[in-house]
Amino acid sequence: MRKFTAPAANEIIPGEPLIHFENVSIAFEGVPVLNNISFTVDGGQTKVIIGESGSGKTVLLKLAAGLLRPDSGRVIIMGHNLGEMNEVELLDFRRRIGFVFQEGALFDSLDVADNVSFRLREERKPPRECEARVREALRFVEMEPAYHKFPAELSGGMRRRVSIARALIDQPPIVYYDSPTAGLDPVTSQTIITLILRLRDLSGATSLLATHRLQDAFGLANFIFEPDADRVLPVWEDADGRHFAPTSVLVIREGKIYFEGETQELLKSEDAYLRQFLE
């Protein structure tokens, strides 16, 4: 069996393609869900996938995690073609990535600590190490007081934050977020996006983020977390040039790529369909 080797987040060379979709198509019971999708995400970049409900965003993320196999085309992550891997190799691959599910998908029979430390316990890490790393991850998402709580005792936003902590416990080089702000109020949504932004700028993790809210894309594209100042700042331009947030947008419509580019281009677009998202 080939052992999957993945670089740590801080070993990723910015600008090198880490996620690559090549003419990917998938259908369920004869109904096409994704049709000939091709795109690339470079190391350290965040690609925001925008689309209506049922446009295939979740399917795209599941393909990128090897949870689904495409009918045709290739999904290449960190240089590995997922289509050529068997289930055991895929399990090994998935241990090196983070996935935040739509509703959090926390194990409801386990408390927050056990949920976050699930992967560490599977790897038979010593309990003391597990506890220290769980507390660190929970501190990052500001959920340490919920250490012993069960998912049923948490609000929707809290569950997403714990889910983010679970995904980042091993500091994966790639993180997928499936509609992390769906069904949340604007304030909580902003908190979640700020968390994702901090994670992006602190660890340099490459991300795919599926959402139907354009605000999420703008939040990620227009703000940067400055570790020195420990603050989230708007992107700015000075003598060194414009300080970009490493974020781009991909709009999916009826299983096909409708738009790919920067948020600024999207903002200027006169296309009626894209304007719907803006308005």
In the complex with other proteins, which residue's Cβ is closer, 95 or 256?
95
Contact 219, 252 (CB under 8 A): no
Candidates 65, 75, 76, 192: give the one binding other proteins (CB under 8 A): 65
In the complex with other proteins, which residue's Cβ is closer, 117 or 248?
117
Is 161 near other proteins (CB under 8 A)?
A: no
- Residues 6 or more apart whose CB falls under 8 angstroms from that of 208 comprise 19, 41, 46, 47, 49, 60, 61, 64, 174, 176, 177
Return the residue matching tokens 């660190």. 136
Candidates 22, 52, 103, 136: give the one binding other proteins (CB under 8 A): 103
Hey, is 153 helix, strand or coil?
helix
Is 95 near other proteins (CB under 8 A)?
A: yes
Beta bridge partners of 178: 210
Tell me which stretch binds other proteins (CB under 8 A): 12-20, 86-94, 185-193, 247-255.
86-94
Is 106 near other proteins (CB under 8 A)?
A: yes
CA distance 36 to 197: 30
Hey, is 169 helix, strand or coil?
coil
Is 240 near other proteins (CB under 8 A)?
A: no
Is 62 near other proteins (CB under 8 A)?
A: yes
Is 89 near other proteins (CB under 8 A)?
A: no
Is 130 near other proteins (CB under 8 A)?
A: no
In the complex with other proteins, which residue's Cβ is closer, 94 or 149?
94
Site string for other proteins, 169-208 (x = CB under 8 A): ----------------------------------------
- At its nearest, how many Å lie between other proteins and the CB of residue 207? 15
Alpha-helical (H) ranges within the chain are 57-64, 87-94, 112-116, 118-122, 127-140, 156-168, 186-203, 214-222, 263-268, 272-278
CA distance 59 to 243: 33
Applying CB under 8 A, what is the total number of residues that bind other proteins? 21
Is 238 near other proteins (CB under 8 A)?
A: no
